[in-house]
Chains A and B, each alone.
Chain A
Amino acid sequence: MSSEKEHRVSRRQFLTYTLTGVGGFMAAGIALPLTRFALDPALEGGDEQEMVAVASVDELTEEPQRFDYSFEQEDAWHTSEVTQTAWLYLDGDEVVALSPVCTHLGCTVDWDSNEDFPNQFFCPCHGGRFEKDGVNVAGTPPTRPLDVYEMEVRDGTVYLGRPISRD
């Protein structure tokens, strides 16, 4: 009995609780779909990118060569043709496919383009350098190796997917 007395809820308190409860429920019912709707791009993750035929293995040498290729990119309701570049070379029998995007701030690197640094990938923006296998040269701005493309060799043709970070 006494415990019931201690738990007496005044009329005002009861109303506060019920109104806050009902109000909160309604507010959540409105806020929840809106929030999830807005967060969708962050929660859904990127679309799968199809593998694109880029070059035939016969064309490749030990020396990195530049290959430009285009494919259909789906961007929500908009589909467009985009062009991407890959540096391809043979390491023994293995095909290596490097992304040309500098891991410092995203400029485009070029192979063997600076006389002072032969046989390296050179980035003109801040002098970033990478070895042939894409590993960044210590003491230059980039902090990790060049990304490698997701790759598949089928019937002598090299197919590339999305670039993958090697860190």
Chain B
Amino acid sequence: MLQKIYDWVDERLDITPMWRDIADHEVPEHVNPAHHFSAFVYCFGGLTFFTVVIQILSGMFLTMYYVPDIINAYESVYYLQNEVTFGVIVRGMHHWGASLVIVMMFLHTLRVFFTGSYKKPRELNWVVGVLMFFVILGLGFTGYLLPWDMKAYFATVVGLEIAESVPVVGDFTKTLLAGGEIVGAQTLARFFAIHVFFLPGALLGLLGAHFYMIRKQGISGPL
């Protein structure tokens, strides 16, 4: 049945070459854990991507209940976690996944660093990777405020103090991020927008570039 549907579509759109080009390529021996077990270190990039996908999915579902407003934010989080079936699990996925993305990304960075994979001709991919590192830290920072509890509030107060300590542009950056002089209604609204639209958009664009480059240049050779 599935085969028939596939054939029907393939006959008209010739999709086989498309997915072959994306998915069907040999895994070099030095990155295949079946040959050298230590090659598992090459999995971290994929695992980072996997956790990012989970973050995007669980995040999409959380916004079905979450409200970015200082009166209702905490109540809506409380409700979705305690009243909605599987709310604990879905919020748990997003909560623990957030830390996991950073751990995986860090391990991936270490592997790229110690295998020297960032060297010519892959410098640009390293640059894109570092940009994604910052985007993901930004996602962590903005997401932390959203439950609007004490921990969230004071973490953001401190985060913004740090931004303020930057020479010359510090004051401006802080006011811009907070949307005013205090951490309040405007801060929550704009952190939500940044967390849910701006940074994920940037992340997807950068991910596209990251993957395009790795396909184009191939994985770096053995040590």
Contact = CB atoms under 8 A, between A and B. Distances in A.
Contact of A77 (B57, B61, B78, B86): B78
Contacts, number: 42
B79 A43 contact: no
Contacts of A36: 85-86
17 contacts: A30-B54, A30-B57, A30-B93, A33-B93, A34-B57, A34-B58, A34-B86, A37-B85, A37-B86, A40-B85, A43-B85, A76-B65, A76-B79, A76-B83, A77-B72, A77-B75, A77-B78
Nearest to B61: A34
A36 B88 CA distance: 12
B148 to A, nearest CB: 12
A94 B215 CA distance: 80
Interface in A13-49: 30, 33-34, 36-38, 40, 43-44
Interface of A: 30, 33-34, 36-38, 40, 43-44, 76-78
Interface string B73-90: 001101100011111011
B223 interface: no
Nearest to B90: A37
B1 interface: no
Interface residues of B, number: 20
A44 B87 CA distance: 13
A154 B155 CA distance: 55
A30 B57 CA distance: 9
B64 interface: yes
Nearest to B67: A77
Contacts of A76: 65, 76, 79, 83
A38 B63 CA distance: 10
A35 to B, nearest CB: 9
B88 to A, nearest CB: 9
Nearest to A79: B75
Interface string B47-77: 0000000100110010011010000100110
